[in-house]
Structure 1
Amino acid sequence: MNKTWIVALETYLRQVKSWSFVILVVSPFLMLAVSLGVGYMSATSGSNTDKIAVISNNPALRKQFISTNKDDISQKVTTTNTAKRKVADDKLAGYLQLSVTNQQVSARYYSKESMDSSLKLSVENFLNKNQQALNVQNAKLSSGQMKSLSQQPIFKQHIKQSSSSNDIVKIASFWILVFVIYMVLITYSSVTAQEIASEKGTKIMEIIFSSTKASKYFIGKITGVMMVILTQILVYIIGGYVFYEILRRISTFRKVFDQYQSLIKPIIGNLLNVNLVYLFLGVIIYTIVSAFSGALVAKPEDAPKAAQPAIYLGMLAFFLTFPFQSNATGLVVKILSYVPFFSSYFMPLRIINNEAGALEISLSLLVLVLTIVLFAWYISRIYEGLILQTDDSSFWKRLKRGLSYQS
């Protein structure tokens, strides 16, 4: 067992230290950062044209209004003349004059266009709140009367998500999940197949097999790759969470998050549940197929071709999901959600559409896990016979000879 873990650790460290792994992990975040940066700059470059200035002879009143409307206010403009000039030059949407005269709060807005409806509502609420405070102060009411006036009404929203919103959530969740599974699967199928194939016919393999069993070596290889895949998934989850929290704190993006929160949260929920387990296990079973294919090539020069069987099988499963993205109740979907190599695509489709119960999910996972274990165990038993074949015979002869080998 120690030798198995040594192989696993060596495989893991070699993979995570490679530039290809670093680029693979970092590139999505770089692309996201660049696209968001461009969006942020384009949004903020003309942001002042959507903002207003607040002018007031009462600094406390101005400060109070700005504190509740920071995203809509250009705080640097403090005088009427400056505000007029910037409005004329189209550098401000307008300016708001706040004042308190004869115990009455007033606001006057100057602009070329009407005030935005949401900001207008905010101004009206602000005026009502401050006017009420002045009225209460001038009325000199008792504590009991003050308590009665401070009583607030109750308003609660009970929102049932529309079917169109549900459809958007389901479709978006499906495409994100399927695309991630496919991309990670293709990547690790190629990496694993080429790594195994590159060892073909080397003397070092004979030396390794003289000190440890080929089965332990193979299991160690697969375990190491599993650790690499798990590392990448964890990096994506943690990195995605960090990006999410950063964007929520940037005013330019916070509005978008607030507006589409009813869509964003369900999509994230569909990704960070049992579907993540299907992603991991789906990549593992295709990785084992790739290792098997890599061990069957005739010589190391054929390594680029080694991943083709796993890639073609993955492509078949990937494209087979297209006709059923809106038909999670179909008989084909139900059958394939229990079939290894296909269940990682089709059971998440059913889960996203709430068409699979806990028992069905458990049974599907059990079949998938057992297939992975048995498949890995069987290949580990014949691995020595596969990897040590060096003759340039046909693929079927090498396959037949390898399957008939007994360690």
Structure 2
Amino acid sequence: MNKLWTVTLQTYWHQVKSWSFLILILGPFFIIGCSALGGAISANSDADSQIAVISSNEQVRQNFIKNNDKYVDSKIKTVESAKKAVKKEKIDGYLVFGMQKNQVKAIYHGISSIDDELKPKVKSYLQVLQSQLNLQKAQLAPHQLKALQQQPQYSEILQKKQLGDKLAKMVSLIIVIMVVYMVLLSYSSITAQEIASEKGTKIMEIIFSSTTAAKYFLGKILGIFGVIITQLLIYIVGGWATYRWALHAKITASFMRDNQVIINKVLGNLLNVNLIFLILGVVIYTILAAFSGALVAKPEDSSKAAQSTMMISLIAFFLAFAFISHPEQILPQVLSYVPFFSSFMMPIRIINGQVGSLEVILSLVILIVSIIGLTIYISKIYQGVILQTDDTSFWKRLKRGLSYSRL
């Protein structure tokens, strides 16, 4: 048992202290950080992009600034000072409100066109001013003025819960499928190369003389499993810290507040039984990748070792996206119980509410039993597979390795 844990710890530390693991850990946080930085820079750029508003009627000017203060530099009040500010690139331009022959006008002077968000606000404000001027000129009786002020009524009755649930489900499904695929893809490659690099080395014969191939293989799998758990724990803790930061950060607080219900539902869909399916899915693909790595002819072929595992995961990935909105069909229902596919298909059915607790438990039991059975079987034939050094075809090496279990 001590030798088993020795192999486990050696494998674990070998992977954790590598640059590839560090990059794998920091990658998502780097992307989030770059996105946040880009948002902050964009927000600052938008804040600096302002105009001046000029009018001989101070009330007209103040009313416009009051409703559009983030677009306007209120300190500039004259055309001369506005021109100087434009020349020094302190503002993008200036807007002059005026009146000619009972018609309200606004003329914008700038280096480039007025902001797309501000332009409709200017036009709307002009319409309000013109309507007020028209009413003054018309000199209508009170009852006529009241009739003209009558406004149409518009309202919306939205089923917010259903719309929110639908969006939360779609976001959750995409995240689950992508996370499962990316994590198992990474560890399939890492495991296959880890095993393949030992192919044909004399050290393997020495190791097998002091411990069994089954214990050595199991130690390798447990070590990599520890790395997987470490990565997921870092993601969960780091993700929670990022979530708490986003709630209070200036560039994300309003978005988080407006979408709090949907975000909570997405997190709920990720941090439940779907996380167990993710972990078990990565484990079973890791075991298959270890077997594939042991089947290569020489260490130089380690880059090709994970190809078969990646092909299966790629098929599962595309099938998951094909049935992401149709989990009720027979194929995803069947595949949700099939190892190597259930980690993709069952979370889709769970998030869409297409499956009961007993079905989820049955799928988990099948997946766990498959992992245990596959581990036991490969551990029995591992020595016969890993010690093969002859450069024969893949199928001959596989056949010879499988025949070792009958010896």
1:380-391 to structure 2, matched below 5 A, reads 380-391=379-390
1:177 is aligned to 2:176:
yes
Cα distance in 1 for residues equivalent to 2:283 and 2:215: 17
Cα distance in 2 for residues equivalent to 1:160 and 1:224: 49
> Which secondary structure does the structure 2 equivalent of 1:252 belong to?
coil
Cα distance in 2 for residues equivalent to 1:312 and 1:46: 46
1:216 match: 215
2:14 match: 14
Cα distance in 2 for residues equivalent to 1:270 and 1:160: 21
Offset at residue 329 of structure 1 (A): 1.2
Q: Percent identity?
A: 52
Cα distance in 2 for residues equivalent to 1:199 and 1:48: 59
Offset at residue 35 of structure 1 (A): 1.3
Question: What is the letter of the counterpart of residue 369 of structure 2?
Answer: L
1:197 match: 196
1:250 match: 249
1:7-406 to structure 2, matched below 5 A, reads 7-47=7-47, 82=75, 161-406=160-405
Q: What is the root-mean-square deviation of aligned Cα atoms in Å?
A: 3.0
Deviations 1:295-324 (A, max 9, x none): 111111111111011000000111111221
> Which secondary structure does the structure 1 equivalent of 2:354 belong to?
coil
Alpha-carbon spacing, 1:386–1:356, altered in 2? closer, same or farther (3 Å): same
1:5 match: 5
Q: Is the 8 A contact 2:180 2:282 kept in 1?
A: yes
> Which secondary structure does the structure 2 equivalent of 1:251 belong to?
coil
Question: What is the letter of the counterpart of residue 5 of structure 1?
Answer: W
Offset at residue 170 of structure 1 (A): 1.3
Cα distance in 1 for residues equivalent to 2:188 and 2:18: 16
Equivalences, count: 326
Q: List runs of 5+ in structure 2 lacking aligned partners.
A: 51-68, 93-118, 123-157
Cα distance in 2 for residues equivalent to 1:351 and 1:15: 33
Cα distance in 2 for residues equivalent to 1:259 and 1:47: 21
Q: Is the 8 A contact 2:39 2:251 kept in 1?
A: no
Cα distance in 2 for residues equivalent to 1:294 and 1:13: 20
Deviations 1:225-275 (A, max 9, x none): 001011111111111111111121112210011111122111111111111
Q: Is the 8 A contact 2:217 2:382 kept in 1?
A: yes
Question: What is the letter of the counterpart of residue 370 of structure 2?
Answer: T
Cα distance in 2 for residues equivalent to 1:399 and 1:339: 23
Deviations 1:60-119 (A, max 9, x none): xxxxxxxxxxxx999xx9xx9x5868x966979xxxxxxxxxxxxxxxxxxx979xxxxx
Offset at residue 404 of structure 1 (A): 1.4
1:147 match: none
Cα distance in 1 for residues equivalent to 2:248 and 2:302: 47
Question: What is the letter of the counterpart of residue 367 of structure 2?
Answer: L
Question: What is the letter of the counterpart of residue 326 of structure 1?
Answer: S
Offset at residue 172 of structure 1 (A): 1.1
2:104 match: none
2:109 match: none
Question: What is the letter of the counterpart of residue 362 of structure 1?
Answer: I
2:125 match: none
Cα distance in 1 for residues equivalent to 2:314 and 2:340: 11
Q: List runs of 5+ in structure 1 lacking aligned partners.
A: 51-71, 93-111, 115-158
More displaced 10-residue stretch of structure 1: 37-46 or 160-169: 160-169
Question: What is the letter of the counterpart of residue 231 of structure 1?
Answer: T
Structure 2 length as normaliser, TM-score? 0.74
Cα distance in 2 for residues equivalent to 1:238 and 1:262: 21
Question: What is the letter of the counterpart of residue 323 of structure 2?
Answer: F
